[in-house]
Structure 1
């Protein structure tokens, strides 16, 4: 992409030059608090632009911010735009999934990283034998529910793109890195600026 091509792409989307909400760092409860503060301070009319740079974090905080965006869109009809900058990894991609593909943008050189949810846990078995199956069943239910949530997120991130749910499921276990150009050509984002 030449400098002129970049200028042309950027001139098509002037609102992206000045995001109302600018988030960077780990997706966690502190980012969620910054998100809520900036959302409250943003203009109430016109499109809302959110930019994000992150190496990942807590997927539930990504989902919570995404829910706020979806509720805003559903209840007010307000247009919401996503701008990924430099890195949109893991929980950042979970947040990006809350925006329809035609409302997603990346800056040149940005990379997405999609992967499976991670769990680190141990099961302590101690007590009467008749109580132990319940402990194991509870852990199994936690894993099964986490897989359902993961699959819901995978379906959202690929909805409207040429990437199939099955392809994402195949590539996610080994951390799928997607450069901005590929993300655009596969329809995961509308454009690169």
Structure 2
């Protein structure tokens, strides 16, 4: 069942308000506000961020998914304001498309995960192989996690995975009305 499209008035008093870098401090604030959020009805999660830790975004997203499944009397809705970059877009992807909203002029930014690492090879040859394989496995696992997030983001939209994979390496910025046209969000307020 598709939920009714909300209006600006529905977002008057967000239960959860988050702003700044997606990090463990934001996660603590999120968990605290989630504990105080209404036990039923609309639970608006408002966010503005220039990005941060994608694993923290996934933790917050899993909390939303978990509570949505356990507490069907609650409707968790995302409201993005001004900038929803990187980890913020990852977090948004955990909300059903009909529960994603942006304010006018907001920009989403989608990009590939980044890795900065020096590989030091020193020691017996078999150990060197293990070190290289471990790094390769880390990269492969990170790509798989990244692509799961991309799939969550585009599910139900007109955007294809090929399109995301083509645009993400160079930072894909999506203006709010374009995000709505593409089906990434329900509406722009």
What CA distance in whole angstroms lies between the structure 1 residues aligned with 2:60 and 2:160?
A: 25
Which of 23, 39, 46 is the matching residue for 2:41? 46
* Residue 12 of structure 2: aligned partner: 17
Stretch of structure 1 that moved more, 66-75 or 10-19: 10-19
* Counterparts of 1:182 and 1:125, CA distance in 2: 47
CA shift, 1:179, in A, is 0.4
Residue 71 (structure 2) pairs with residue 70 (structure 1): no
Structural RMSD (CA): 1.2
TM-score, reference length from structure 1:
0.93
5+ residue gaps, structure 2, are none
For residues 12-68 of structure 1, give each alpha carbon's deviation from its aligned partner in whole angstroms, at most 9, with x where no partner exists: 342212110000000011100000011111121211100000000000000000000
Write out per-residue CA displacement over residues 136-169 of structure 1, whole angstroms, 9 at most, x where no aligned residue: 0000000000000011000000001111111011
- After the TM superposition, which parts of structure 1 deviate over 4 Å for at least 4 consecutive aligned residues? none
> Residue 186 of structure 2 aligns with which residue?
190
Give the structure with the higher percent helix: 1
8 Å contact kept, 2:40–2:75: no
> Could you tell me how far apart the structure 2 residues matched to 1:33 and 1:15 are?
25
1:47-126 pair list within 5 angstroms: 47-77=42-72, 78-126=74-122
Q: Does 2:25 align with 1:30?
A: yes
User: When the two structures are superposed, what TM-score results if normalisation uses the length of structure 2?
Assistant: 0.95
- The corresponding residue for 1:5 is none
User: Residues 140-179 of structure 1: matches in 2 within 5 Å?
Assistant: 140-179=136-175
Please give the alpha-carbon distance, in whole angstroms, between the structure 2 residues aligned to 1:146 and 1:11.
35
